Amino acid sequence: MGAMIEHVASSSPDRGLLGRDLPDRLLAVRAAEGDEDSFAVLVQRHGRSLLALARCMLGNPQDAEDAVQDAFVSAWRRLPEYRHSAEFRTWIYRITVNRCLTMRRRRPPPLPLDAVGEPAAEDAWSQPARSAEHDAATTALSHALAEMDAGQRLCWILREVQGLSYKEIAHVTRTSEQTVRGRLFRARRSLQEAMDPWR
């Protein structure tokens, strides 16, 4: 999927050029009518953020690519069912989250969550003490996220990594905004305690 997303993102500038300025809802309507270029614009617009979400949830880049590809295939097939009461972004996030949860249930999750990334190679050589501290903090964050309740972790990723609103998170997770706020409060408190040594 990463390859598919990269291909769509770097495809010819003419592809979907007219649709790039259109809102998601209109693009979704066009895509539901079979307009592949409109769907390509939606993939281009949301693919990278969905891939980042799936990587955070699954911890494995290949599994994340598979999950996002499956989500887009499912979205393409289900576009005629798409109700415009929800934003397209929220709808595709829900499909992706559900696909990731299904994949996680099928096997135990891997330990590292690579959500933070690694320092550049030259930074590691020029500042080894700082690099070691960064690696330790990254490991602590990955461990804290892995140990966190799945609902709290999902809400935290959707809010802090993906930037979704409380309302959007509630829609994606099929809970109330109050539940989302509670989960985020507990997730932040848990991470604050786990990351206290690195302040």
**Residue-wise pLDDT tens digits, 69-120:** 999 999 999 998 887 777 899 999 999 999 998 988 886 544 455 544 555 5
119, 134 Cβ separation under 8 angstroms: yes
- On whether both 57 and 150 belong to a single domain, the answer is no
* Inter-residue contact 50 to 92 (CB < 8 Å): yes
- Whether residues 55 and 152 share a domain: the answer is no
At 12-65, the pLDDT tens digits run 444 445 567 899 989 999 999 999 999 999 999 999 999 999 998 888 899 999
> 54, 42, 141: which is closest to 103 by C-alpha?
54
What's the pLDDT score for residue 12? 43
13: CATH? 1.10.1740.10
Domain count of the fold of the chain: 2
Structure tokens at 132: 């070691």
Tokens of 55: 């990587």
* Cα atoms found within 13 Å of the Cα of residue 27, Cβ hemisphere only: 25
**Statement to judge: residues 104 and 127 lie in one domain:** no
Contact between residue 51 and residue 162 where contact means Cβ atoms under 8 Å apart: no
Is residue 156 within 8 A of residue 185, CB to CB? The reply is no
Are 57 and 133 contained in the same domain?
no
Q: 105 with 141, same domain?
A: no
> Has this prediction a pTM greater than 0.75?
no
* Domain closes at, from 80, 110, 140: 110
Q: What's the confidence (pLDDT) of residue 36?
A: 94
Range of the domain at 137: 119-199
Indicate if 29 and 92 belong to the same structural domain. yes
Domain boundary among 76, 110, 144: 110
Domain boundary among 85, 110, 135: 110
Please report the sign of the dihedral spanned by the C-alpha atoms of residue 195, residue 189, residue 151, residue 108: positive
Residue 139: band (very low, low, confident or very high) from pLDDT cuts 50, 70, 90: confident
Residues 105 and 129 in one domain: no
Residue 130 in this model has a pLDDT that exceeds 70: no
91: left (phi over 0), alpha (psi -120 to 50) or beta: alpha
Same domain, residue pair 123 and 96: no
99 shares a domain with 155: no
What are the structure tokens assigned to 103, written together?
């994949």
